[in-house]
Amino acid sequence: MNLAEKILAIHAGRDTVKPGDMVMAKLDMILGTDVTVPLSVEVFRNMGAEKVFDPNKMALVNDHFVPAKDVKAATLSLTMREFARDMKVPAYFEVGRSGICHSILPDNGLVRPGDLVVGADSHTCTYGALGAFSTGIGSTDMACAWAIGELWFRVPESTKVIVEGEFTPMVGPKDLILYIINKLGVEGARYQAIEFCGCAIEDMSMDGRITVCNMAIEAGAKTGLITPDRITRDFIENIYANPTPYTPKRGRDIGGEYGLYLESDCDAQYSQVLEVDLKDVEPQVSIPYLPSNTKPVGEVSDVAIHQVVIGSCTNGRIEDFRAAAKILGDKPVHPDVRLIMIPATPQITEALIEEGLATQFLRAGAIISPPTCGPCIGGHMGILAKGEVGLFTTNRNFRGRNGHPESQVYLAGPEVAAATALTGRISDPREL
């Protein structure tokens, strides 16, 4: 079996599974956010449930509309806050102690290798960076998961993506995943698990792996997965050496504290194999209105940009801001550009301050936002007006997603984003 099949088999209590099998599998963690929990609470109550199966296997995160932008957003958070209190959920992340969910969970030790994780957010596939099978679900499924602790799954086929070589200057994990999505197509891995492997993946930091797995859904995938290894173990052990108030105090049912370090068998089956050599990957830009509409930056240069956003669950890690800082140097943001920086967690904001990056960004003319999904979903903290054009390090650029239906968003990595913020036009960072 491959990695995805092994995780589902273990959680379904079966020796083996194969693509197409229907299984009921026990869950290790269920994620909800301020915009998805309220509907689930209504369903949970209507189905007659009185308590959740295990409050220690839930995480409730304020991140989409925070700080609350209006009364409706405040009411959504209030509903989640009261539910967390009633169900005695330890991993409830209040504004000020919260951040973007897909950084909050791994950074607090709430996801481990070999886990089966679901979340009412499509980018729950991010946790495959730690070797977990993680996938998005709807609010109704989340209510059922809260009640009984398991869900049905159709075992997916798997696509293997083998990445070899070394990154060239000014090229990073975001460029790699945009390149891969372009090769696969927006539905090229529909309802499949994408298993990323090869020397380049093995050498990649956890921040980079989070970026890559986060966007597996943009090729239609059920999840993205990377085999857990020494980098994974170092990441997990560091959390337990420096626990937060939300880090689990005990091992969970399957895998204990440090998780299950599984890997695919040498004779595992895949529906397709894509081989990528990093020497062929240049800085990438996805043009409106699909993430798969990706071209080398040189083919879309000189497009005037009104707003640049660096952050989100895709590129809100400390390594992303370090990369942007190298490009910005001591130069000012172009006078016609708004540059918004969104660290994924308060701890990353603290790192920006400690490393002097926050001062650098502010002096350049950027604004540093609290952790939020806001502009990525066109909900808050940086919405585009009619006719405006943005370049974001987020994961989607669908029509109207980031603001007015007649606005446009280009997707890129932090290096291209920082270069663009300086020039006012989409720019190749290698030319600065």
Where do the H-state alpha helices sit in 163-273?
A: 173-184, 199-202, 206-214, 230-241
Whether 251 has a pLDDT exceeding 60, the answer reads no
The span from the CA of 45 to the CA of 394, in Å, is 35
The span from the CA of 188 to the CA of 194, in Å, is 10
Global pTM reads 0.95
Q: What letter represents residue 430's amino acid? A: R
Whether 205 has a pLDDT exceeding 80, the answer reads yes
- pLDDT for 250 equals 56
Helix (H) or strand (E) holding 276: strand 272-277
Task: Please give the distance of CA 424 from its chain centroid, rounded to a whole number.
Answer: 27
* Per-position DSSP letters for 34-68, written without gaps between them: TTTHHHHHHHHHHTT--S-S-GGGEEEE--SS-S-
pLDDT per position as a tens digit, 273-312: 999 999 999 999 999 999 999 999 999 988 999 999 999 9
- pLDDT for 387 equals 96
**List of domains in the chain:** 3-258+268-276 (3.30.499.10), 283-431 (3.30.499.10)
pLDDT per position as a tens digit, 47-103: 999 999 999 999 999 999 999 999 999 999 999 999 999 999 999 999 999 999 999
φ, ψ for residue 73, nearest 5 deg: -65, -40
Whether 254 has a pLDDT exceeding 80, the answer reads no
The span from the CA of 38 to the CA of 333, in Å, is 40
pLDDT per position as a tens digit, 338-348: 999 999 999 99
**When comparing pLDDT for 187 and 308, which is higher?**
308
Mean pLDDT along residues 190-210 = 97
φ, ψ for residue 67, nearest 5 deg: -55, 155
